Structure 1
Amino acid sequence: MLCCLKFLIVKIPMSLKFKIIPVTAFQQNCSLVWCDETMKGVVIDPGGDCKTILSVIAEKQVDVTAVVLTHGHLDHVGGSVELAKALNVSILGPHQEDRFWLENLPEQSQMFGFAHTEAFEPARWLEEGDVIEFGQSHLTVLHTPGHTPGHVTLVNEDAKVAFVGDVLFNGSIGRTDFPKGDHATLIQAIKTKLWPLGNEVTFVPGHGPTSTFGYERRTNPFVADEMPLY
């Protein structure tokens, strides 16, 4: 899915801000997320175009404390090592079930025509219930497999915002035809992990515009369970 967003900046309650930075030829939504009180923050899914990401970080004067990954696909992780080295921070995530994706990054880069990307292992794999703290804010980890087996979603329930990677999109859901993808598992993750967070939660997908869980429950043909009956 292609994204028509440029640098979208959003301010939400509880001192949390985020800025969406579309990167790579796939227009993947890299997110700079930070605590407005302390200016500490994290970068989620830096798939590439690190110079662009670094320029936004400098512009917003955010003190980045970690690079965080939702899953192991190249367009989400391709710039992780370069960015982490430039910022002198650690890479966190995804869940260890996506280890094989990170180990196969050289093959992924060849397959999709990207510059050669070396395999790497994060400083820490993420598990359900882990909390990533930065300043006075945080993100809680949910394991949401299906698109990939080790996919995670990052949530701030106070601010009612979730970074869902390629689990859910505005009007669609993630592909499950990649190795170890599973459609039934993806649907279960959406309905049992995301929907309970509340209809008012805004989510940032891996590609394309933001939406809310409530809007998708009413209109998304793949997962709607509150669609009006006529």
Structure 2
Amino acid sequence: MLHYRILPVTPFAQNCCLLWDDATREAVLTDPGGDLDRVFAEVAAQGVKLRGVWLTHAHIDHAGAAAAAAKRAGVPIVGPHPDDQFWIDCLPQQSKMFGFPPAEAFTPDRWLHDGDQLTLGTLRFEVRHCPGHTPGHVVFHQPEAKRCWVGDVLFAGSIGRTDFPRGNHQQLLDSITQRLWPMGDDTVFIPGHGPESTFGEERRSNPYVGGT
């Protein structure tokens, strides 16, 4: 069974998550942007064994501490899609620009592509490439648990910004309607910021993509 804890990190209150399989106690961190002492305290509190760092995209609040987290735990970095390499290369500059602790650029141990699968213990996650907020943005869908980690593609009542370099508003809308909605109205999504919601609720009420 899938379990998770949402751990808001950085001044941007970015939803880093600790995910684990109850059967094997194997775990991953998604989008560890910072505040690693607090994040690793939660890992210890849950008594789980970290197996990887999974990234939805490479903005500073999501990936700023990815290299440090991976080194600290001795685990690989998985994701995002190769089109976000330029954002990874810019992590040191991003950290200075936004007043974050120094961030280290890196090359992921595994790039992700649309249709890939990830394994966490007995659980399988489906990877969908959802560009628009960044060109290499991916999401992690666990169908049996009806949960999806969507990064900054979609929020409760809003959508991701597209005014950053290589952002694309129409791409973002297409990612939401063509790749997220088919996962089902009853799928709960965990966004990069703010509270959880369901795809069905956003289809009904989100002012940017409601009715699509």
Identify the TM-score tier after normalising by the shorter chain.
over 0.9
Q: Return the alpha-carbon distance in structure 1 between the equivalents of residues 73 and 125 of structure 2.
A: 20
Q: Return the alpha-carbon distance in structure 2 between the equivalents of residues 137 and 199 of structure 1.
A: 21
Report how far residue 176 of structure 1 moved.
0.1
Other-structure match for 1:209: 195
Q: Which residue, out of 10, 25, 49, partners 1:24? A: 10
Q: Is 1:43 aligned to residue 29 of structure 2?
A: yes
Other-structure match for 2:160: 174
* 1:64 alignment partner, SS class: strand
Q: Is 1:101 aligned to residue 87 of structure 2?
A: yes
Q: Number of residue pairs matched? A: 212
Q: Return the alpha-carbon distance in structure 1 between the equivalents of residues 36 and 181 of structure 2.
A: 33
Whichever residue aligns with residue 50 of structure 1, its letter is L
Q: Return the alpha-carbon distance in structure 2 between the equivalents of residues 134 and 195 of structure 1.
A: 24
Whichever residue aligns with residue 193 of structure 1, its letter is R
Q: Return the alpha-carbon distance in structure 1 between the equivalents of residues 120 and 73 of structure 2.
A: 15
Deviations 1:126-147 (A, max 9, x none): 1111111111112211000000
Q: Return the alpha-carbon distance in structure 2 between the equivalents of residues 208 and 150 of structure 1.
A: 22
How does 1:143-222 map onto structure 2 within 5 Å? 143-222=129-208
Q: Which residue, out of 47, 69, 82, partners 1:83? A: 69
Deviations 1:86-126 (A, max 9, x none): 11100000000000000011111111011221211111111
CA RMSD of aligned residues (A): 0.8
Report how far residue 225 of structure 1 moved.
1.0
5+ long unaligned stretches in structure 2: none
Q: How does the TM-score come out when normalised to structure 2?
A: 0.98
Q: Which runs of 4+ in 1 moved over 3 A?
A: none
How does 1:128-147 map onto structure 2 within 5 Å? 128-147=114-133
Q: Return the alpha-carbon distance in structure 1 between the equivalents of residues 122 and 154 of structure 2.
A: 28
Q: Return the alpha-carbon distance in structure 2 between the equivalents of residues 137 and 31 of structure 1.
A: 16
